[in-house]
Amino acid sequence: MANVENRDRDAPMFVIYCNERRVATMFDPQFEDMFWCSYRLEPIDEFGDRVIHDVTIWEHVAFVVKDMQGNLPNSNTFSGGFADFCDRKTDRLSFRSLWPPRPSLTSRVFAAFAGLVGCNSQTRKNTEPETARGSRG
C-alpha cells in the first residue's frame, strides 16, 4: 500500500455520484495491487453518508465516478472490498482501474522549467531591469 507520488492527501481526486447526485468525495489515493487503487471517501452530507454505506450501491455498481472537472475517467470502474467500508470498519474503498489524475504534459514541462530557473508557483522572480519598469523620479 504505497501513497501515490507526492500528492496532497487532502486534495480531492474524484466525486462519486448516485442518480446524478453528488454523494461523496474521494481523497488520498493509494496503490493496492496491479489494477486496484484505494481512496478515502468522505460523504458530501448525511444523505451521501447513507448512500455510500449501502452495500447495494457497490454490489450493483449503481454509482458514477467523475474527476473534479466533471469528466468520466473510466466508465467501467467498480469497487471491491466494500463490506468493511459499509460496516464502517474503514474509511477507504478500493476501485479497479481508477488511477489518480496525472498532471498534463504542459504543466509538468512548466514545473520542470520553473525548477531549472529557480521559480515555483508560490514565488515569482522579477527579472525585468529597473529602467524597463518605468521607474522615473
In tens, the pLDDT along 103-126 reads 667 766 777 777 777 765 554 444
pLDDT band per the 50, 70, 90 thresholds, residue 5: low
- Read off the pTM: 0.70
Q: How far apart are CA 78 and CA 62, in angstroms?
A: 9
24 and 42 in contact (C-beta within 8 Å)?
A: yes
Given a contact cutoff of 8 angstroms between Cβ atoms, the answer to whether 48 and 66 are in contact is no
